[in-house]
Amino acid sequence: MTDRYAVVGNPVAHSKSPRIHAAFARLTNQDLSYGAILAPRDGFADAVRAFIAAGGRGLNVTVPFKLEAFALAQRRSPRAEAAQAVNTLAFSGEGIFGDNTDGAGLVADLTRNLGLSLAGTRILLLGAGGAARGALLPLLEQRPALLHLANRTADKARALGEEFAGRAAGGCLESGGFAGLAGRSFDLVINATAASLAGEATPLPAGVFAPGSLAYDMMYGGETPFLSAARSQGADRRADGLGMLVEQAAESFLLWRGVRPPTAPVLAELRGA
Ligand code: ATR
């Protein structure tokens, strides 16, 4: 019988995950189907249980259910524990396993697709919500010289910084508000705020983008407000989050199927569309 997977969210109709996983299945000759489930906002757990009862093997979880998925998982990966959120569920006789592949997807996009080597670099991570939290551990594992966490609400960045301080090799993690960025410059600036969703750009002081730096928006959709602001502030390279989307999907596929699918042809297909 064909193994069943799906993405669950609300809304979910816009999701590119069914298309991405169908391409992965084709490229790796895996016999699986992958659908989309619109769960009512108060009905996430019921939707998951119904999917399991129908023989489902795994789910990707998107907005607004990543925290509920974390709570529902009976066992969780260390990276899910660090993120305090789950975007991938796997079902087996041992129950519900929760993982978080978002941060690994970000790092894979930066290193595999964009050719960055993060060791020894200066990284600025903007935001202190779920997206930033999920990125912290995978970024720290790349051993940057500095990871500076900046948020509109400085206290939230500081709290998150304190929480992850023990995971930062050589005390390379700093945190604070946007005002503290004056006079600083970075090799990589990652937007993990929700500002682009609202059509806004985070106000950054001049000089934040070092020569040759990359501006990266976790949101996808070409030239986001963050990326166009970055361009006018002199960021030499810019990338949206489409590669991260494909790479986090590949990490989920690996967890479920034991094979990491090729991502370059899938990313090229999505970019061409
Ligand atoms: P997510 O899970 O996507 O990270 P979240 O947990 O609601 O969403 O966090 C949203 C993040 O975007 C926060 O860091 C928020 O900053 P505050 O903590 O100050 O609220 C940030 N954010 C949202 N809109 C923003 C804007 N217009 N400018 C700058 N930061 C913004």
Query: Distance from first CA to last CA of the chain, Å, rounded?
Result: 32
| β strands within 107-185, DSSP E | 122-126, 146-150, 173-176
- Give the pTM: 0.96
Radius of gyration, alpha carbons of the chain: 19
- Quote the pLDDT of residue 170: 65
Query: Does the CB atom of residue 87 touch ligand 1 within 6 A?
Result: no
Question: Matching CATH topology for 3-100+244-272 and 103-240?
Answer: yes
- Quote the pLDDT of residue 171: 63
Q: What is the CA(99)–ligand 1 centre distance, in A?
A: 23
By alpha-carbon position, which residue is closest to atom 26 of ligand 1?
195
Overall CATH class of domain 3-100+244-272? alpha beta
Query: Does the CB atom of residue 219 touch ligand 1 within 6 A?
Result: no
Check if 66 is active-site: yes
- Coil, helix or strand at residue 6: strand
What residues contact residue 36 under an 8 Å CB cut-off, 6+ apart? 6, 7, 8, 9, 12, 13, 15, 17, 18
Ordered by start, the domain boundaries in the chain are 3-100+244-272, 103-240
Query: Does the CB atom of residue 199 touch ligand 1 within 6 A?
Result: no
Please report, for residues 74, 131, 134, the alpha-carbon distance to residue 97 in angstroms, rounded to integers and kept in the order given: 6, 21, 17
Ramachandran bin of 264, using left for φ above 0, alpha for ψ from -120 to 50, beta for the remaining angles: alpha
Query: Does the CB atom of residue 151 touch ligand 1 within 6 A?
Result: yes
Fold category of 103-240 in CATH: Rossmann fold (3.40.50)
The residues that bridge with 4 in the sheet, in sequence order, are 33, 56
- Quote the pLDDT of residue 165: 92
Token pair of 144, please? 């940057």
- Which helix (DSSP H) or strand (DSSP E) does residue 189 occupy? strand 186-191
The pLDDT tens digits of the residues spanning 183-195 come to 999 999 999 999 9
Low-confidence ranges of the chain (pLDDT < 70): 170-171, 273
Atom of ligand 1 nearest to the CA of 128: 14
C-alpha span between 127 and 191 (Å, rounded): 7
- Quote the pLDDT of residue 197: 85
